[in-house]
Amino acid sequence: MKKAILITILSLFTLGIFSQTLDTIIYNGDSDEHINVVILGDAYTSANHAANKLNTDATNFVNALLNESPYSEYADFYNFFIIKRNSVQSGTDHPGIATDVIEPLSPVQTRNTYYQTTFDVDSIHRLLAPMGTGITNAYTDLANVFPNYDQIIMLVNDTEYGGSGGTIATSSVNASANEIAIHEMGHSYADLADEYYAGDQFAGERANMTANNNPATVKWKDWLNILGIGIYQHTCSSGNCSSWYKPHNNCKMQFLGSDFCSVCKEAIIDKMYSLADPFENKIPNLTSLFSFNGNCTTFGSNLILTNPNTYTIEWELNGNIIPSRTEETEVWKYEDFDFGTNVLKLQILDETSLSKSYLPDDGYFFELSWVVNKVDLCSKTVDKFDYVNSFPSGSSAGQTTADDFDWTEWVGSTPTSNTGPSSAYDGTTYLYTEACCSNIPNKKAIYFTDCFDLTRVNNPKMSLAIHMLGKDIGKLEIAVSDAGGNTNSYTVLQTFTGEIGPDWKEFEWDLSPFVSPYTKFQFTVTTGSGIEGDIAIDYLRVFSGCASSLTLNQTHTGVNTYEAQSTITSTSNVLSGSTIYRAGSSVNLNGGFNVNAGATFITQQGGCN
């Protein structure tokens, strides 16, 4: 919609090629994402500019505009800039040729101004507008310093009352100037008609003017009998005003100092939303497929807010509204998505009471979407607990080629003296990394496990027996992923550096921060510089730790034991296999609890010690 060529132009401008200058009055954000109102000043001399008179006049206008509903509610959507251009003289032309007053109503004068504004346009005394090459000058200045403007205002440094609402909304700096400029911007910006009868040549269908007086079909029928909105016939001393109707009898499009009527407010908001939407950005800013990376990613947008806030925010994933997600940015986890292609949408509905255009639900509705790809990295998922792996033959789930050498399955002592265990910690086999030959120095060996569905384990823990003996021992890193080992998804649980001692030692980690259906472990050795640096692991266990009380809501397959020091409360459905509840005092089986045919269910007292 908008082009970001402003920066190029500004840099030309700072080289002094142009003799106009650009100042910022209010900046709410990126000009591509906001509505840019550019104010040109005519009849401001170099002395006026030296005194910042245009800055002052423009600031007064902007403050008045942003105090006026519906600009006040949507102020953050607008940027305001001024272009300062010297005129030879202040004040502007009063030719004294109007036919709607007895001329000369004010002293006849001719002024040398850059945009060549004049009163008495179309023989109407108060009609003030730039003329001839002055209009060309205005568009040349805009093209040179701010080509991506959305609305132009021209403030004319003359105190006579007047203005006009053409493409360039024009206003003098009369005491009523702010009201004139806001009214004229109603014409230029929102294409509103005057709600007084300005003459047959100005009559036509507009948001706030119609020849249709049928309450069932009039364009503002949704507003009828609300806040003074009706179907009011225009009145005039001459012309065809009786054919035309307006929505209100006291609108700013009729009387300066009045508010905009509801129909005009809605037209202004409609215009705004035709130029901008509430999204200030897109996070991440991708139009192509997003390959899920890491455990979690923030999706969303910074919003241009309304005051008061009238937005409803919804998130939709694969066609389903997610009621728990109501923020403009939300963190989404790997497990939130399905494998394969997902469509994630952020949807904003502005339900402002100032408009009925959003009704029924497709008016002020805005949407961002992302296509998210989730790759299944779990070749196998363990869902039976407690799980024990003593690394017997053939159990190596995860050697990888993304390292320098492999872990070795071994029985008895490792080949080098003064390093490595003499036997397994459990059973006869274990895994170790041989610190020798091409495996040193500073070489990596990575082993990763199967995935574990930790949603099936209460208070899950992992333990591992580790053997690190020898003067050249390097480093062992224990890491966990709750995203199936997805890129960048590992969190380091612990890093062991140097010797632990002559014996195996068992370590235990709490997995409750990493519960997902795709929890996976990775063990990474980095060798030291010498051969006395064998590192061994054995007896990997993933199991349920003990809780004081348990509330279980999942179904069970396989063999499960749940232990609690006091109470186990469950609405679980025991589908198959065998499930044991061991509670210290009581087991409460709530509504919905079923033991299916073929399943074994046992409760025991004694619980967790």
Q: Which residues bind Zn ion (CB under 5 A)?
A: 208, 251, 253, 261, 264
Distance from C-alpha of 472 to C-alpha of 475, rounded to nearest angstrom? 10
Question: CB-wise, 158 or 195, nearer to Zn ion?
Answer: 195
Question: CB-wise, 74 or 385, nearer to Zn ion?
Answer: 74
Minimum distance from CB of 201 to Zn ion (Å)? 20
Read off the tokens for 419: 């390093």
Question: CB-wise, 263 or 368, nearer to Zn ion?
Answer: 263
- List CB contacts of 216: < 8 A, sequence separation 6 or more: none
- List CB contacts of 495: < 8 A, sequence separation 6 or more: 475, 476, 477, 478
CA-nearest of 441, 437, 397 to 415 is 437
Minimum distance from CB of 259 to Zn ion (Å)? 9
DSSP E strand stretches across 285-437: 289-291, 296-300, 311-317, 320-321, 329-333, 340-350, 365-374, 381-382, 387-389, 408-411, 429-433
Minimum distance from CB of 261 to Zn ion (Å)? 3
| Chain residue whose CB lies nearest Zn ion | 251
Question: CB-wise, 207 or 564, nearer to Zn ion?
Answer: 207
State the distance between the two ends of the chain, measured CA to CA, in whole angstroms: 67
Distance from C-alpha of 293 to C-alpha of 520, rounded to nearest angstrom? 15
Question: CB-wise, 204 or 592, nearer to Zn ion?
Answer: 204
Minimum distance from CB of 161 to Zn ion (Å)? 21
Question: CB-wise, 223 or 279, nearer to Zn ion?
Answer: 223
Question: CB-wise, 251 or 547, nearer to Zn ion?
Answer: 251
Q: Are 486 and 304 spatial neighbours (Cβ–Cβ below 8 Å)? A: no
CA–CA distances in Å: residue 269 to residues 129, 403, 605: 26, 59, 68
> From the CB of residue 530, how many other CB atoms can be counted at a distance below 10 Å?
17
578 forms beta bridges with 559, 600
Q: Are 181 and 69 spatial neighbours (Cβ–Cβ below 8 Å)? A: no
Minimum distance from CB of 354 to Zn ion (Å)? 13
CA-nearest of 387, 325, 386, 380 to 517 is 380
Q: Report the amino acid identity of residue 57.
A: D
464 forms beta bridges with 507
Q: What is the dihedral of CA 445, 451, 454, 456, to 10 degrees?
A: -150
Q: Are 308 and 351 spatial neighbours (Cβ–Cβ below 8 Å)? A: no
Q: Report the amino acid identity of residue 132.
A: G
Question: CB-wise, 186 or 607, nearer to Zn ion?
Answer: 186
Question: CB-wise, 195 or 538, nearer to Zn ion?
Answer: 195
Minimum distance from CB of 484 to Zn ion (Å)? 59
Q: Determine how β-strand 559-570 pairs with β-strand 578-583.
A: parallel
CA atoms within 13 A of residue 579's CA, in its CB half-sphere: 25
Minimum distance from CB of 248 to Zn ion (Å)? 5
Minimum distance from CB of 229 to Zn ion (Å)? 9
Question: CB-wise, 266 or 350, nearer to Zn ion?
Answer: 266
